[in-house]
Structure 1
Amino acid sequence: MDEMPRVLVTRRFVTPLPAMLTQSCVVDINDRHEALDAAALHARLRGCHGVLVGAGDRVDAGWLAAAPSLRVVSTASMGFNHIDVAACTRAGVLVTNTPDVVVDATADLGWLLIMAAARRLGASERWLRSGAWPGRGWRFDDWLGADVSGTTLGIVGMGRIGQAIARRAAGFRMRVCYHNRKPLPDAQAAGAQYVSLEALLREADHVIVVVPYSPATHHLIGARELARMKPGATLVNIARGGVVDDGAIAEALRAGRPGAAGLDVYEGEPEVHPELLALENVVLAPHIGTATVATRSTMFSLAVRNLLDAMQGRRPAHLVNPEVLATERIGDP
């Protein structure tokens, strides 16, 4: 490169920025946690060769039109459904993500939601905080939840995170079944049994959804699927909003099939379906699957590395649309 490339960092991720970024690029950072409004964003995109975004940034054709020099969109997230990858590909813009570093933190959060939903932690904590306990005292039948140890866990989506969840289930002496596009080799299945989605929903005491979002997985779990679950079962969604029909799960929770849910992602987030907010048998988290200090710091560092590799003529380690490399625009601002 004959000149230092220009990079926009769309919001505050970590402070200070890594030296490898500031020494290699002219960096414009939105030093706020909130997203820029459209006019300010488009103005700051002009002349940019790279942009570093998070899951809350919607990258669409408007972005690309405002940044004709753009070569790479690097997202500090595993999922990339907030990016119009097809539009980026048509424009010759590389898209990169950070898949590997999120596995353990996200699997741990999945287990947290299974346990909290099954054991009614959210509702019982709200009751305690309300001051009701001293006035009534302890009762033998208070806050009875569902067992986890020795039950059946169903994993919908047996990728890296699904496999990490299955490995953790061994400590709870659980039978594990899973549904995937195709069965995994035994070495990857972590002792889990491949079954149809219908069988998984029918047999599992706890169901966790870990599939990527795509048109094919939109409302993969809807009213029909929820009706197949056991009464009293637990449903957890740590995948993406839209994989589970939020309106359908709210209605199903009222009917007790499933009996409890734990949700970290939502359709239209940060908005949450108002009927979910009114229910006591659902634990709600604000998309915190990767929210540990170490994981988020590593995600950002990897996103920076992906961005610099793309702009400096190297193939990024985690490239979503490799077909763009055929255009040979990489590394040529």
Structure 2
Amino acid sequence: MTEAHRIVFLDRDSVIANIRKPAFAHEWTEYPATAHADAAARLRDARATIAITNKVKLRAEDLAQLPDLKMIGVAATGTDIVDLAVARERGIVVSNIRNYAVHTLPEHTFALMLALRRQLVAYRADIEAGLWQKSERFCLFGHPVSDLAGSRLGLFGYGALGRSVAQIARAFGMEVIVHTRSPLADAKADGVREASFDEVLETSDIISLHLPLTDKTRNMISAKELIRMKRSALLINTARGGLVDETALADALRAGVIAGAGFDVLTQEPPPADNVLLNLRLPNFLLTPHSAWASSQAMQVLADQLIDNIEAWQAGTPRNVVT
């Protein structure tokens, strides 16, 4: 008789959805949250064969303590929390979640764009200060408002999320240019145009990032890139915090190097109290707490796909394998 798998979910409360149990013999243990320092011990004590983690890191020193571990189900798309090289050496299969946020994250991306272009934060502050109430006109001016229609949107990255953002942008009447590592087979059909890194950086009215965080993409937008952007440009990041040099961005926003930025991610999450962007109080900067992915619909898709990945691996046909 085949021994039942032992599954440990290290941070169950990070997924607010109904998670069905896998349809094979198993023991299931879950923790609301797990500190990185406790992760290896919890998996080792349970003799886990399958680990589930959303944001709990599993580094080389952790994996070295887990001789029984055979599979890691990452309850997210990003896999930088796992030492993939060591996992490969150990024969541990790592599967992630894909294309679950194709509606929620693009909608959040445009919420940030629209709030900044329409100066919602600045005008709300004016109303709270009583300026509209004292206005001599029926409306209140003071902050320039710009349309998305006719603007150029530059995308770095063109996977499922970038493609969905481009589709919405076209509905707004925006021109879309894309820089990505792989040639775009369907660029013309998608109504977008491939462009160089320099063209996207220097000519876009809005730049939106949709890339994974790797050694090559870390701090891809730093002070020298920011100063090459249009002074009227917006920078939107709903991907990974480490893609942008946060200190350089704060300096650029204070100095008016670019017009504004909307971020849903920071380099360290949750952020320390002294994070430079966390403490940036400017009407042209919006920060949300890594919530772009978290619609109830998207979380349920994620939860279902997580168990699908585990069941596929157990059946000998692993899917969404990260190599």
Secondary structure at 2:257's aligned position in 1? coil
Q: Which residue of 1 aligns with 2:22?
A: 20
Instruction: Say if 1:199 and 1:83 are closer, same or farther in 2 by CA, change over 3 A.
Output: same
- Residue ranges of structure 2 left out of the alignment (5+ in a row): none
Q: Of the candidates 291, 299, 316, which is equivalent to residue 314 of structure 1?
A: 316
Q: Which residue of 2 aligns with 1:324?
A: none
**What are the Cα deviations for residues 45-92 of structure 1, in whole angstroms up to 9, with x where unaligned?**
0200001111x2111123313321001111111111121111211221
- Counting only pairs closer than 5 Å after superposition, residues 170-189 of structure 1 correspond to structure 2 as 170-187=170-187
**What are the Cα deviations for residues 291-327 of structure 1, in whole angstroms up to 9, with x where unaligned?**
11111111012112212322x2422221102xxxxxx
Could you tell me how far 1:192 is from its partner in structure 2?
1.1
Count residues in correspondence.
314
- Residue ranges of structure 1 left out of the alignment (5+ in a row): 322-333
Identity of aligned residues (%): 29
* Distance in 2 separating the partners of 1:111 and 1:35: 33
* Distance in 1 separating the partners of 2:169 and 2:27: 47
- Counting only pairs closer than 5 Å after superposition, residues 31-180 of structure 1 correspond to structure 2 as 32=32, 34-36=33-35, 38-39=37-38, 41-46=39-44, 47-54=47-54, 56-126=55-125, 128=127, 130=128, 132-133=130-131, 136-137=134-135, 140-180=140-180
TM-score by length of 1: 0.87
Q: Which residue of 2 aligns with 1:330?
A: none
Asked if 1:295 corresponds to 2:309, the answer is no
Asked if 1:284 corresponds to 2:283, the answer is no
- The 10-residue stretch of structure 1 (172-181 or 57-66) with the greater mean CA deviation from structure 2: 57-66
Could you tell me how far 1:122 is from its partner in structure 2?
3.3
Q: Contact 1:163–1:188 (CA<8 Å) still a contact in 2?
A: no
* Paired AA for residue 222 in structure 1: S
Q: Contact 2:212–2:240 (CA<8 Å) still a contact in 1?
A: yes
Could you tell me how far 1:44 is from its partner in structure 2?
2.0
- The 10-residue stretch of structure 1 (87-96 or 115-124) with the greater mean CA deviation from structure 2: 115-124
* Distance in 1 separating the partners of 2:162 and 2:42: 39
Instruction: Say if 1:188 and 1:68 are closer, same or farther in 2 by CA, change over 3 A.
Output: farther
Q: Which residue of 1 aligns with 2:257?
A: 257
Instruction: Say if 1:36 and 1:200 are closer, same or farther in 2 by CA, change over 3 A.
Output: closer
Could you tell me how far 1:133 is from its partner in structure 2?
4.9
Q: Contact 2:223–2:249 (CA<8 Å) still a contact in 1?
A: yes
Which structure's residues are more often helix, by fraction?
1
* Paired AA for residue 269 in structure 1: E
Asked if 1:223 corresponds to 2:233, the answer is no
- The 10-residue stretch of structure 1 (282-291 or 117-126) with the greater mean CA deviation from structure 2: 117-126
Q: Which residue of 1 aligns with 2:196?
A: 196
Instruction: Say if 1:182 and 1:49 are closer, same or farther in 2 by CA, change over 3 A.
Output: closer
CA RMSD of aligned residues (A): 2.2
* Paired AA for residue 212 in structure 2: P
Secondary structure at 1:304's aligned position in 2? helix
Instruction: Say if 1:188 and 1:5 are closer, same or farther in 2 by CA, change over 3 A.
Output: farther
Q: Contact 1:263–1:284 (CA<8 Å) still a contact in 2?
A: yes
* Distance in 2 separating the partners of 1:127 and 1:219: 35
